[in-house]
Amino acid sequence: MEVAEVLPDAIAWRRHLHAHPELSFQEHQTAAFVRDRLDELDGLALSSPTPTSVVATLSGGRPGPTLAMRADLDALPIQEESGVEFASQVGGVMHACGHDGHTAMLLATARLLGARRQELPGEVRFVFQHAEELPPGGAIEIVRSGALDGVDAVVGCHLMSDMAVGTVAALDDACTAAADVFSIRILGRGGHAAFPQLAVDPIAAAAQSVSSLQHVVAREAPPLESVVVSVTRISGGTADNIIPESVELGGTVRTYSEELRQQTREAMERVVAGVTTAHRAAYEFEYVEGYSSVVNDPSLTALVRDVAGARLVDRPPLMAGEDFSAYLSVAPACFFFVGAGGDGAFPHHHPRFTVDEDALSVGIETLTTTALRFLGVQ
């Protein structure tokens, strides 16, 4: 069976999913649709690790390694404005990241590999994962369920509207960022604005803290490594003649290396502690780790790059987060990118985001061939 034979169905599935998007952790109809499509295939053992996820296991005719392949099912809280004929029929919910395409591509891959079941060694687990878009994410639940126990490698991909159709990128090392958030409360002592000596001004301490936090990036991180510290919230005070009791700051930190992530977290708290102490204030520092960075396994990535062949392009890593990183605790993994747009395409998470459907055959072929090569068939 060739890619061209499954492509019309893959496009139809993708359009159906696009018209019927569901939010993270609510993918009931999506999971049911996936189950129905998988039920049409012979030789798959289905399970539901969580209420809205599906894992299909394809056991080959002889012993061999086990490969997991992952697609994500969820949509976003966005009102679609793409104008496509199969646009979302659900108000305020849209597949604006291409996960409908990921699901369709993995279903098609399951059909292609299923047709060759007898000649396959080992096992392939097709993981249709819920809730990629909403931390703590669905991937960690799949891992904790044990559905990936015994897996030797994990592969996943993302359609990218900033890459031309027909291209594939598989980055060595980190390809998405760790995305963390922080909240800082600076505790002063309120009072009359005309008598600052009787108060402890948290606004002055907050202003210094915001400035000094940028020194963590400029003066403590290695210049050739990437780190972003963005203070995106600041609130405090009620009147022009009152020094408030406290000020609240918040924002996000993005890194690629785990070492720099921990170093940045520690440096931020040290800076806030030092600045607030210097101003006679106190502080509360809360740091919540989001998705970790996806760091690709070198040999698995080399395989994907080899499969991509002439389609292979280079691209910078994403500063966005991806919960695929949870699978790194299971086995060596590779997360690759499939071009689905190009010049003038709207970015992911935009109301007019679209996927060029010519990308689907590229994704299906890359996934299928990677699986065959990993299992040692080709």
Q: List the structure tokens of 303.
A: 């395989």
Site track for Ni ion across 101-140, x = CB under 5 A: ----------------------------------------
Q: How far apart are CA 138 and CA 144, in angstroms?
A: 10
Which residue reads 């703590």 in tokens? 136
Number of residues located near Ni ion, criterion CB under 5 A: 1
Q: How far apart are CA 362 and CA 21, in angstroms?
A: 23
Residue closest to Ni ion when measured from CB atoms: 97
Nearer to Ni ion, 97 or 113 (CB): 97
121 and 63 Cβ atoms separated by less than 8 Å: yes
Beta bridge partners of 196: none
Please count the residues of the chain: 378
Task: Tell me how far, at minimum, the Cβ of 339 lies from Ni ion, in Å.
Answer: 15
Task: Tell me how far, at minimum, the Cβ of 93 lies from Ni ion, in Å.
Answer: 15
Pick the stretch among 89-97, 107-115, 171-179, 180-188 that binds Ni ion (CB under 5 A): 89-97
Nearer to Ni ion, 97 or 271 (CB): 97
Task: Tell me how far, at minimum, the Cβ of 99 lies from Ni ion, in Å.
Answer: 6
323 is catalytic: no
Nearer to Ni ion, 98 or 244 (CB): 98
Site track for Ni ion across 283-312, x = CB under 5 A: ------------------------------
Got the DSSP string for 296-313? Answer: E-HHHHHHHHHHHGGGB-
314 is catalytic: no
Selected catalytic residue, list 72, 80, 100, 132: 132
- Who contacts 22 (Cβ-Cβ below 8 Å, separation ≥6)? 28, 29, 30, 52, 73, 74, 75, 90, 93
Nearer to Ni ion, 179 or 272 (CB): 179
The DSSP secondary-structure symbol of 76 reads: B
Q: 21: cis peptide before it, omega within 30°?
A: no
Q: How far apart are CA 112 and CA 245, in angstroms?
A: 64
Selected catalytic residue, list 27, 74, 201, 297: 74
Task: Tell me how far, at minimum, the Cβ of 97 lies from Ni ion, in Å.
Answer: 4
Task: Tell me how far, at minimum, the Cβ of 74 lies from Ni ion, in Å.
Answer: 9
Task: Tell me how far, at minimum, the Cβ of 160 lies from Ni ion, in Å.
Answer: 9
Pick the stretch among 94-102, 181-189, 235-243, 300-308 that binds Ni ion (CB under 5 A): 94-102
Which residue reads 């690790």 in tokens? 49
- Is 355 in a helix, a strand, or coil? coil
**Residue 367 interacts with Ni ion (CB under 5 A)?**
no
Nearer to Ni ion, 123 or 133 (CB): 133
Burial (0-12, 13-18, 19+ Cβ within 10 Å), 292: buried
**Residue 97 interacts with Ni ion (CB under 5 A)?**
yes
Q: How far apart are CA 55 and CA 129, in angstroms?
A: 8
Positions that interact with Ni ion (CB under 5 A) = 97
List the catalytic residues.
74, 132
